[in-house]
Amino acid sequence: MGMKYVLAIAGSDSSGGAGIQADIKTITTLGAHALTVITALTAQNSTGIAAIQRIPARFISHQVRTVVKDLRPHAIKVGMVATAAAVKTVASLIKRFKLFPLVIDPVLRASTGGRLLEAEGLSVLREQLLPLADVVTPNLIEASALSGRAIETVSDMEQAAKTLKEMGPNVVIKGGHLAGDCVDVLYDGSEIYHFRAERIRTDNTHGTGCVFSSALATSLALGYDMIESTRRAHDFTRVSIARGYPCGDGAGVTNPSVATVKA
């Protein structure tokens, strides 16, 4: 079958728990080769983000064009894209080079509260990038912002997923912020699927969304269909959380480097 390449377009987390660092660990652990394009540099630790250096859209384009000139990705994961100009550039590059299957993790804010996408970028993300995606993987807060719906229950998740599906992509809304059990909801335009599991009681959750979306992209690259790829991402992320560890004075990190997923 040969080595599969997964391109992660995302920001750098200097604390090593999320962002491109979590993407690389996830993709590598699942048996693929990680290609990377950096959209922003952050000065952050476990307690918060001190500063963000946004990469100019022109240089983001240069990174993508240089990579795909030599290496053809088998799947793409897009995470933090900090500016409206960068979102437009990434959307243009995806269309130009036909970079699919495409997983969008709509990173809007850090888990510590800092904004990671400028306000005007949200509408550009919704209008230009989401319609290109094979699947979008928001958490409850992101799904609410994108759909305009309040989300507190699994039923709310289902309705928001249907709203987001009207924009084009399959939708996986992650239920880590639900009260009670964790339920991820997949809507493919015809059926709703629930991936339910008992909540893992831990504070070691930094990087969860990055791990999930990268695991989903890698599973798609490896040839699994959308339903099975979602199941694999759900299971892999749970193991990453269960095997996480404290890292600094704030929330601990997930540990995708030692995670496994059932065949």
Decide if 4 is catalytic: no
Decide if 29 is catalytic: no
Decide if 19 is catalytic: no
Please pick, among 83, 89, 137, 208, the residue that the annotation labels catalytic: 208
Please pick, among 174, 218, 237, 250, the residue that the annotation labels catalytic: 174
Decide if 174 is catalytic: yes
Please pick, among 26, 210, 218, 244, the residue that the annotation labels catalytic: 210
Decide if 208 is catalytic: yes
Do residues 71 and 35 touch, judged by C-beta distance below 8 A?
Answer: yes
SS (H, E, C) the chain: CCCCEEEEEEEEECCCCCHHHHHHHHHHHCCCEEEEEEEEEEEEECCEEEEEEECCHHHHHHHHHHHHHHCCCCEEEECCCCCHHHHHHHHHHHHHHCCCCEEECCCCECCCCCECCCCCHHHHHHHHHHHHCCEECCEHHHHHHHHCCCCCCHHHHHHHHHHHHCCCCEEEEECCCCCCCEEEEEECCCCEEEEEECCCCCCEEECHHHHHHHHHHHHHHCCCCHHHHHHHHHHHHHHHHHCCECCCCCCEECCHHHCCCCC
Please pick, among 11, 17, 175, 209, the residue that the annotation labels catalytic: 209
Please pick, among 29, 205, 230, 237, the residue that the annotation labels catalytic: 205
Decide if 182 is catalytic: no
> Prior bond to 101 cis, omega within 30?
yes
Please pick, among 175, 207, 250, 252, the residue that the annotation labels catalytic: 207
Catalytic residues: 174, 205, 207-210
